[in-house]
């Protein structure tokens, strides 16, 4: 079995993957390969082509919001969401072992982590430098003799890349959590059911050109007593100012109310793409 994740070893997504595998107690054999991906497009392409069976992706953070780079992959590739997992995120500031906090001027980090630590940056007058992912930032810092640069990441990156932890818990809010999704092919035989756990359903849609069409798209959910948990619009990219809506709600595709709501949604849309019903694993 091949399982993919975004970023390098030691990234938060890598940690989420390890936790998910342990929680699901997947029957993984010795030859299981954990494959890191530098580019999100390659990860999603590998899932769609079944080059890898499973992959873990970050979808949103409790303070930083949705991960737009990930969400923009959803219209382009075919996959199913198998479960969701919430990982507490405690950011630390990392630098070479001879560097102190008062010497640091620039800090490299994934854009989401920069948002989550903005108060710390302002307090210490640090320049934020966006980078691909936090593990790559740590690797970059470790491979160069920087006197005034640091990175943001998890504590385990200090051991992996031989860096010093300058400051712990630098996130804006102590209850900082990132939500991850396990995606793959539609076969869910290895995904355990959570007894009594609620189901969530995720989908995207593109509306028809009608007055009040978004209101009408969502009306079926209200009349069938379905609670929406997330709605976000993103540009489709192939046309100027043409958008898709990403929607999540509490409920299972097998529920009668959900079936009725989706029938109504279908009438007002040009395209509906359903990613599946799934549960949180803990």
- In angstroms, rounded to a whole number, what is the distance separating the alpha carbons of residues 276 and 73? 16
For the entire predicted model, the pTM comes to 0.92
Q: Which of 77, 281, 275 is nearest to 179 (CA)?
A: 281
pLDDT in tens, 170-200: 999 999 999 999 999 866 666 777 777 899 9
* 139: DSSP letter: H
Q: Could you tell me if 81 and 132 lie in one domain?
A: no
Virtual torsion, Cα 58, 62, 64, 68, nearest 10 deg: 40
- According to the model, what pLDDT value does residue 178 have? 97
Q: Could you tell me if 212 and 274 lie in one domain?
A: yes
Dihedral of CA 49/51/53/55: which sign?
A: negative
Virtual torsion, Cα 107, 112, 118, 121, nearest 10 deg: 0
Last residue of a domain, one of 156, 184, 212: 184
Output the domain CATH number for residue 117.
Answer: 3.40.190.10
What is the number of other CB atoms lying within 10 angstroms of the CB of residue 38? 12
**Phi, psi (rounded to 5 degrees) for 14:** -60, -40
Residue 191 domain-assigned? no
pLDDT in tens, 33-51: 899 998 999 999 999 999 9
Give Cβ neighbours of residue 114 (< 8 Å, ≥ 6 apart).
Answer: 121, 128, 130, 152
Residue 17 domain-assigned? yes
Q: Could you tell me if 154 and 110 lie in one domain?
A: yes
Residue 267 domain-assigned? yes
Residue 210 domain-assigned? yes
Alpha helices in 33-171 (DSSP H): 40-48, 68-71, 111-116, 118-124, 134-142, 156-160
Q: How many CA atoms lie within 13 A of 140 on its CB side?
A: 19
Residue 194 domain-assigned? no
Residue 193 domain-assigned? no
Output the domain CATH number for residue 236.
Answer: 3.30.70.260
Q: Could you tell me if 23 and 62 lie in one domain?
A: yes
Q: Could you tell me if 105 and 81 lie in one domain?
A: no
Q: Could you tell me if 71 and 103 lie in one domain?
A: no
Domain extent at residue 139:
92-167
Q: Could you tell me if 158 and 215 lie in one domain?
A: no
Per the structure, how many domains does the chain have?
A: 3
Q: Could you tell me if 205 and 246 lie in one domain?
A: yes
**Phi, psi (rounded to 5 degrees) for 222:** -65, -45
- In angstroms, rounded to a whole number, what is the distance separating the alpha carbons of residues 11 and 17? 10
Q: Could you tell me if 274 and 251 lie in one domain?
A: yes
Residue 102 domain-assigned? yes
Last residue of a domain, one of 184, 214, 230: 184
Last residue of a domain, one of 159, 184, 209: 184
Q: Could you tell me if 103 and 65 lie in one domain?
A: no
Q: Could you tell me if 20 and 52 lie in one domain?
A: yes
From the first residue on, what is the mean pLDDT of each consecutive set of 10 residues in the chain (282 residues)? 90 93 70 87 96 95 93 96 96 96 96 95 96 92 96 96 97 95 79 82 96 97 97 86 95 97 97 96 90
Residue 189 domain-assigned? no
Q: How many CA atoms lie within 13 A of 186 on its CB side?
A: 4
């Amino acid at each position: 079995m091949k399982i993919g994740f975004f970023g390098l070893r030691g990234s938060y997504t890598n940690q989420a993957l390890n936790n998910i595998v342990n929680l699901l107690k997947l029957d993984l054999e010795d030859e299981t390969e954990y494959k890191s991906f530098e580019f999100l497009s390659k990860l999603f392409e590998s899932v769609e082509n079944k080059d890898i069976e499973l992959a873990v992706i970050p979808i949103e953070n409790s303070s930083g919001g949705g991960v737009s780079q990930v969400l923009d992959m959803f219209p382009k590739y075919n996959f199913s969401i198998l479960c969701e997992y919430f990982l507490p995120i405690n950011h630390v500031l990392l630098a070479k072992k001879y560097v102190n906090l008062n010497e640091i001027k620039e800090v490299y980090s994934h854009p989401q982590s920069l948002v989550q630590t903005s108060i710390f940056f302002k307090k210490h007058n640090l320049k934020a430098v966006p980078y691909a992912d936090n593990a790559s930032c740590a690797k970059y810092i470790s491979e160069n003799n920087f006197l005034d640069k640091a990175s943001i990441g998890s504590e385990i990156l200090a051991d992996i890349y031989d860096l010093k932890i300058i400051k712990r818990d630098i996130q804006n809010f102590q209850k900082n959590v990132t939500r991850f999704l396990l995606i793959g092919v539609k076969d869910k035989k290895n995904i355990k059911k959570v007894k009594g756990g609620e189901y969530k359903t995720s989908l995207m849609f593109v509306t028809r050109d009608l007055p009040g069409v978004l209101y009408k798209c969502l009306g079926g959910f209200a009349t069938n007593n379905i609670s929406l948990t997330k709605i976000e619009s993103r540009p489709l990219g192939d046309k100027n100012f043409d958008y898709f809506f990403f929607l999540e709600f509490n409920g299972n595709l097998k529920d009668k109310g959900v079936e009725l709501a989706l029938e109504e949604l279908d009438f007002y849309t040009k395209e509906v793409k359903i990613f599946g019903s799934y549960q949180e694993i803990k």
